[in-house]
């Protein structure tokens, strides 16, 4: 009786061990590459899968996107400027069987190909393009790396250049260049403003030349605006003030004479100094 119980316990333990060895549960993002006696028989999962103990072996593969930080690389640009560049690569496995059979370590291989491609592509670009055309360079890197990893069942979705480090002397030179460019733009804008102002003044002069009185009215208006400030010193241009002075002088040289009624045939009264007796007789 005791021997029968021991045998039953051994059988139950064997069943439990065999069940544990033959049953696998895979998550939604996992796939199992199944090998039977060393030969690839297919991909299983997700969910519950059954294996033949001793004969079957599986390799779990994750289908989630992997974020791979590419170590900083020393790059010499096409215009012979040393730069320190690092990037990040996003990729995922799309063919689980190929990622196991075609390559020993897909993640490590993708990292190495990303480093070499980064140095190769950026070494053909100039520094200005490296700083201002990152989107185009990112697309080129993604296409080249994806072509290299496609036989491994790896799809590279995105490559992004994170940081570009350049020597301090080059940074100072770029800062001076940027400042000179800003000064040039300021001078161009100032010159354009002066040109437009001169054109408008020329048009105004054409309008004023048709009626000279307009210039005097404009000058008087300007004087009234300047006169609001008590500390202002007003300079009168001779060519503008002269017409006014001539008009005042003409008015003073020819005073208006108003004849009054004569009395008893005597000397007429005039609006001004009294006439002499001789002039009265004449």
Give the pair of three-digit tokens for residue 67.
Answer: 């974020």
250 preceded by a cis bond (ω within 30 of 0): no
Q: What is the mean pLDDT of residues 84-109?
A: 93
Q: Is 202 within a domain?
A: yes
Residue 251 has pLDDT above 70, yes or no: no
Average pLDDT over residues 260-271: 45
What pTM does this model have?
0.61
CATH number for 70: 3.30.479.30
Nearest alpha carbon to residue 119 among 153, 79, 96, 85 = 85
50 and 31 fall within a common domain = yes
For the ranges 97-106, 214-223, 247-256, which has the lowest average pLDDT?
A: 247-256
Residue 8 in any domain: the answer is no
pLDDT of 259: 45
- Both tokens assigned to 181: 């460019």
pLDDT computed for residue 62 by the predictor: 94
Q: Are residues 133 and 209 in the same domain?
A: no
**Residue 115: predicted pLDDT:** 93
Whether 96 is in a domain gets the answer yes
| Structural domain that includes position 28 | 13-62
Whether 42 shows a pLDDT value over 80: the answer reads yes
The reply to whether 90 and 102 lie within a common domain is yes
- The residue ranking higher by pLDDT, 221 or 103, is 103
Structural domain contains residue 142: yes
Residue 35 has pLDDT above 60, yes or no: yes
Rounded CA separation 222/229 (Å): 12
Buried-exposed string 258-276: b where 16+ CB fall within 10 A, e elsewhere: eeeeeeeeeeeeeeeeeee
Residue 68 confidence (pLDDT) above 60: yes
Q: Are 33 and 94 members of one domain?
A: no
Number of domains in the chain: 3
Higher pLDDT, 212 or 269: 212
User: Region 33-39: what's the mean pLDDT?
Assistant: 92
Can you tell me which residue has the tokens 């020393």? 74
């Amino acid at each position: 009786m005791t021997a029968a119980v021991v045998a039953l316990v051994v059988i139950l333990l064997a069943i439990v061990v065999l069940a544990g060895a033959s049953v696998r549960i895979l998550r939604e993002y996992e796939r199992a590459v199944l090998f039977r006696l060393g030969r690839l028989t297919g991909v299983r999962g997700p969910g519950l899968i059954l294996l033949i103990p001793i004969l079957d072996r599986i390799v779990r593969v994750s289908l989630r996107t992997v974020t791979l930080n590419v170590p900083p690389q020393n790059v010499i640009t096409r215009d012979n400027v040393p730069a320190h560049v690092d990037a990040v690569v996003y990729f995922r496995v799309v063919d689980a069987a190929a990622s196991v059979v075609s390559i020993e370590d897909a993640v490590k291989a993708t990292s190495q190909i990303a480093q070499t491609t980064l140095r190769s592509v950026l070494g053909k670009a100039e520094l200005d393009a490296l700083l201002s055309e990152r989107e185009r360079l990112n697309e080129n890197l993604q296409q080249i790396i994806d072509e290299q990893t496609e036989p491994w069942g790896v799809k590279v979705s995105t490559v992004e250049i994170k940081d570009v480090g350049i020597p301090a002397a080059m940074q100072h030179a770029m800062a001076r260049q940027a400042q000179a460019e800003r000064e040039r733009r300021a001078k161009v804008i100032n010159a354009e403003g002066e040109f437009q102002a001169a054109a408008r003044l020329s048009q105004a002069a054409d309008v004023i030349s048709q009626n000279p009185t307009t210039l005097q009215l404009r000058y008087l208006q300007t004087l009234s605006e300047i006169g609001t400030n008590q500390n202002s010193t007003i300079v009168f241009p001779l060519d503008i003030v002269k017409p006014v002075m001539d008009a005042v002088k003409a008015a003073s040289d020819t005073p208006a004479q108003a004849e009054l009624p004569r009395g008893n045939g005597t000397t007429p009264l005039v609006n001004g100094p009294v006439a002499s007796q001789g002039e009265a007789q004449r």
